[in-house]
Amino acid sequence: MASEGAEMKAAEAGAAPPSYVGPNDVAPPPSYDSLFGKLKQAKEESDGNVDFVKTCCGILVGSVACSICLGIFLAIPIAMIAVGATYLRDCPAEKMIPIYLIVAGVFNLLSNILMIIRGRVNKRKEGEEEKQSGAGPEQLINCFLVAWFIAGMLYSYWTYFIENCH
């Protein structure tokens, strides 16, 4: 009790607070592995090729370089939305092409944003045993985008076919 009172008076007087870390309580410094070091560790710890590819995808999506590339790729869906909105009512070739551009742009933008969010969440949960991939909505959006791409190509090529064959 007397030592606690002395510590309180020393703290009030502007002295440094007491240290609670003993000489044996020193933790090792954090490791700053490179991207390749993480991939090598994933190869060593993986159960098989499928597990390794899944882990590699999580590592690559969580990297800063991937986030920068995805940020650049956000410009393409925004341009699709802008062009589709500009010619929404007056497309000379086919009235569905601007709608195709707007819908494809919105869903590409949503897919890219979800990928960025998933990469950041996985990076924060790096120390946990099992990571939830959260790729369900992204996979559903990507399946829709494949079907929507086919529909857009049909609109475009059907218009081209009609104009050039008649």
pTM of the model: 0.55
Residue 95 and residue 50: Cα distance in Å, rounded?
44
Determine the pLDDT at residue 143: 93
User: How far from 101 is each of 49, 85, 154, CA to CA, in Å?
Assistant: 38, 8, 13
pLDDT in tens, 121-163: 776 766 554 555 556 788 899 899 999 999 988 888 887 777 7
- Extents of the domains making up the chain: 35-165
